[in-house]
Amino acid sequence: MLFFLVPLRPLVFLSASSCLLALVLLSACGSVPMASLWKLRQLQLETLDPAALRAAVVHSPGLQLHGNALELTVSVSRTLRKPGGAIATERLEEKLPLQELRSTADRSVLAEYETSRTHVQVWRIDPAALPRLQALRERAMGWKGTDDGSRQLGLGLELSGCQQGGSGSRVVTTLLRFTDTGEYIPLVRNLDLAETMPAHELAKRFPACTTR
């Protein structure tokens, strides 16, 4: 799973566990543009539009991603200090089904990423699942005034599909858009999926494509 922790205030970093990404690991498996880090710092829970959220993945044509079998994991967490000084984390989470968007209008804003050597896929949250995300957002906003205000927004996308010929490039670039009129923000560029998970897991998630 590609999982990104975005502190809504004050500093942006990424979290890592097995195939999760960490900023300290990105020198080996990709890079987060500095301009993206600055833009992510400006995110506020109150202004996020669940219906406008888009996820895009740029990959080689030989890597086929399962368009309508993906889930986006969205979480909001906060750290609480209990009586006596103990630290605890409260976390809200939803796993939301995605719908692939194939129209020219949805993909045209990412035209710069579409070349003879790359293919772009775009997803939105299934409209039927939006009330769940809205409810999570409202619960998290209900924390206001009960702590120091620090929040972490977690976004996880578990990719799976197949590889034409059984081998080839598994390098991806991942982008997210948070508002209807906003831009797509690159989160990682040129990430080799082989560096995010063990070889047996990679083979399971991306076997050779079968011909029909």
pLDDT tens for each residue of 131-184: 999 999 889 888 887 877 677 877 788 788 888 876 677 888 888 888 887 889
Question: Quick one: pLDDT band at residue 24, thresholds 50, 70, 90?
Answer: very low
Q: How far apart are alpha carbons 183 and 161 in whole angstroms? A: 27
Q: Of 78, 12, 2, which Cα lies nearest the Cα of 42? A: 12
Q: How is residue 209 written in tokens?
A: 């494509």
Q: What is the pLDDT of residue 30?
A: 45
- Name which of 32, 87, 69, 61 is nearest 171 in CA terms: 61
pLDDT digits (tens, 9 = 90+) for 68-120: 778 888 888 888 877 887 888 889 999 999 999 998 888 889 999 999 899 99
DSSP 3-state of 113? helix
Give pLDDT, residue 113: 92
**pLDDT at 57 (0 to 100):** 92
Residue range 12-35: mean pLDDT, rounded:
39
pLDDT on residue 69? 73
19 or 3, higher pLDDT: 3
Is it the case that residue 16 has pLDDT exceeding 80? no
- What pLDDT score was predicted for residue 6? 53
Taking every pair of C-alpha atoms in the chain, what is the biggest distance, in angstroms?
Answer: 64
pLDDT at 212: 59
Q: How far apart are the first and last CA of the chain?
A: 28
Contact criterion met (CB below 8 Å) for 110 and 122: yes
Return phi, psi of residue 90, to 5°: -105, 130
pLDDT at 167: 65
| Of 6 and 168, the one with more pLDDT | 168
Q: Does the structure show a pLDDT above 90 at 129?
A: yes
Residue 167, token pair as written in the block:
């081998």
Confidence class for position 3, pLDDT limits 50, 70, 90: low
pLDDT category, 127, cuts 50, 70, 90?
A: very high
Over 60: is that where the pLDDT of 123 sits? yes
Which amino acid belongs to residue 105? Answer: A
Tell me if the pTM is above 0.85. Answer: no
DSSP 17-75: STTS--GGGHHHH-B--HHHHHHHHT--GGG--GGG-EEEEEE-TTEEE-TTS-EEEEE
Token pair in block for residue 111: 């035209």
